[in-house]
Amino acid sequence: MSEKVIVVTGASQGIGAALVKGFRAQGHRVVANSRKLQPVNDPNILSVVGDIADPAVADRLVAATLERWGRIDTLVNNAGIFIGKPFVDYTAEDFANVMSTNVAGFFYVTQRVARQMLRQGNGHIVNVTTSLVDQPIGAVPTGLAALSKGGLASITKSLATEYAAKGIRVNAVSPGIIKTPMNEGEDRNFLAKLQPMGRLGETEEIVDAVLYLDRAAFVTGEIIHVDGGAHAGQWQIAS
């Protein structure tokens, strides 16, 4: 099938917006979800506004996709919240916000999409995690990212095994620090030094990895790191 129906969460900016653009460039139909979305003049992009942490939004997202195009070929779980601070400084509100989007949002939409893919007998789920799960950085404490995104890394392999014989592949992309609006106000020179290659990643480089996984029919349970080598181990931060 050359033309697919792709669902992308967290599609308003950064990696999510780049994914929408990248899939459309391949000729696919895209369903974009986020709490806020700009209007688009493209009949092959369906916008579904809402917080994916709300199960009613997940229901509406899947229903709208099936009503428009009748199937879901690929789901990209890109929506996420990042709050970096010392572990003891996290508040109950921080915890609730991160877990609702990163974990509950993943659960609600993935469960509903997986049911549809089981009916179809095929499909592909891609989770966007973080290389901080594999290689924490002392200078950037990120306990809630490890807690929430680490769960996505684990369930990627669990679901890949559960569904391998049922036509559904499950993979993940694990980014390093990517140049997005999320870190626009920060010291990007400092952030670049946290990557062994000495630069921030580009959103297009994450898109390339997702597009590869989407066409790699014999790949499932894989976590591709796009992080300039950050996951490979400790390194010396350049002065």
Is 23:45 a contact under the CB 8 Å cutoff? no
Look at residue 239 and tell me if it is in a domain.
no
Q: How far apart are CA 161 and CA 150, in angstroms?
A: 17
Q: Is residue 236 part of a domain?
A: no
Distance CA 126, CA 172 (A): 5
Residue 171 lies in a domain: yes
Do 112 and 57 touch, CB atoms closer than 8 A? no
Domain count of the fold of the chain: 1
Residue 224 belongs to what domain range?
A: 5-228
Within-domain flag for 235? no
Instruction: Return the sign of the alpha-carbon dihedral for residues 66, 69, 75, 80.
Output: negative
Output DSSP code: residue 177.
S
Are 82 and 142 contacting, i.e. CB atoms less than 8 angstroms apart?
A: yes
Is 99 in a helix, a strand, or coil? helix
Establish if 163 belongs to a structural domain.
yes
In a domain, residue 82? The reply is: yes
> Which DSSP letter does residue 197 get?
T
Q: Is residue 237 part of a domain?
A: no
CATH number of the CATH domain containing 58: 3.40.50.720
Dist. CA 95–CA 25, nearest whole Å: 37
Phi-psi region of 79 (alpha: psi -120 to 50; beta: other; left: phi over 0): beta
**Residue 104, domain member (yes or no):** yes
pTM of the model as a whole:
0.92
Along the 239 residues of the chain, how does pLDDT read in single tens digits?
579 999 999 999 999 999 999 999 999 999 999 999 888 899 999 999 999 999 999 999 999 999 999 999 999 999 999 998 999 999 999 999 999 999 999 999 999 999 999 999 999 999 999 988 888 777 778 899 999 999 999 999 999 999 999 999 999 999 988 877 776 666 777 777 777 877 887 999 999 999 999 999 999 999 999 988 888 876 655 44
